[in-house]
Amino acid sequence: MASAPKPQLPLFYNDLLPLNSRDHGDHVVTAFGDASFLADTHAIPLTVDEFVDAQRNYPIVFTANDSPLPIALMGLNEGVNTFIDKENKLEPGVYVPAYIRRYPFILAKLQSDSEDMSLCFDPKSGVVVEGKEGNALFEGEGEERKATEYTNNILEFCRRFEESGQRTKAFLEKLTELDLLMDGEIAITRNDMPDKPFVYRGFKMVDEKKLRELATDKVEELNKSGMLMLIHAHLFSMNLMRMVFERQTAQGKVPLPEAKA
C-alpha cells in the first residue's frame, strides 16, 4: 500500500506503513540509539492524562490555532529542545510524553471513507528492521503467524493514546465553551539586561481572572469532572517558563530579545 502523503504526516513521522505479518513477519524492534528525532522540537503534543506528571518538568500551554491542543514546552523557541544534550540523549529523570514513547508506531486510518484504524509505523525511524536481535513483532510461521505480546502491547498503548486524545478534545471544548482561554504572553527579564525583556507569544493559556469569576455551578461541574485539577496543573506549570528560559540561557540558545516599540 502506498505511503501516506508527507504533508499529512504528524510530528516526527517521515513515512507510514501498515504493520502486517506478510511483509513484516521477520521484523523486530530495536532501541533508539539516541533521541535525535526530537532534538529540534521544542513543543510536544500532550494529553490531559499526562498533565499531572508533565507539569513537574515542562510548562503546559495550548496552541494558538482555531482548535487549540495542549503541548509541553521543552524549549521556548522553535528548534530548541533544552532537554536533549550534546550527544542527543534525553535528560534522565524527566517525564517523557506518551507522544514520544509511541513513536515510531501510530494508529492511522488507511481509508479516508472509513473510521477503522490500523497499527502503522515509520519505516524511516530505523528501529523496525529485519533481524533476530530485538523485540519480535510476530511469531509462528506462514498462516499461523500471529502478533507477539510485544506487538499487542504496542497496539494497546496506541489505543489508549487515542482514547486519551478524545478526553483531551472534550477538555478543550469545555474550556472554549466557558471562554476560559486567552492569548498568552510571557515577558522574562535577565539580570544583565533589565531593560530588554524576552517576550514570548504565540500560545494560549487559561485566563485566571475569568476562572475566578466563573459561576459556582460551573466551577463545581469542572471539579466533579476532574477538569479543574487539569486547569490547575496547567497554571502551576507556567511557573516553569523561567526555568526553561534559564536552561536555554545556560545552553547559549536564547535569541536576542524583541526591541521595544
Tell which residue, 167, 185, 177, 201, has the closest CA to residue 46.
167
pLDDT the model gives residue 251: 92
Element of type H or E holding 250? helix 241-250
Does the pTM surpass 0.85? The reply is yes
Per-domain residue ranges of the chain = 7-250
Cell numbers describing residue 170: 472534550
pLDDT surpasses 70 at 2: no
d(CA 63, CA 67): 8
What is the β-pairing status of strands 146-147 and 60-63? unpaired
- Cis link prior to 257 (omega < 30° from 0)? no
How large a percentage of the chain has pLDDT more than 70? 95
Least confident of 42-56, 80-94, 244-258: 244-258
Q: Label residue 7 by pLDDT band (50, 70, 90).
A: very low
Q: Are 48 and 87 within 8 A, CB to CB?
A: no
Q: Can you tell me the mean pLDDT for 164-178?
A: 97
**79 in the Ramachandran plot: left (φ > 0), alpha (ψ -120 to 50) or beta?**
left
Read off the amino acid at residue 17.
L
CA angle 258, 85, 29 (to 5 degrees): 125
d(CA 47, CA 71): 8
d(CA 76, CA 41): 10
Counting Cα atoms < 13 Å in the Cβ hemisphere of 145 gives: 15
pLDDT tens digits for range 199-238 = 999 999 999 999 999 999 999 999 999 999 999 999 999 9
d(CA 60, CA 204): 10
pLDDT tens digits for range 245-257 = 999 999 998 876 5
pLDDT the model gives residue 210: 97
Q: Label residue 258 by pLDDT band (50, 70, 90).
A: low
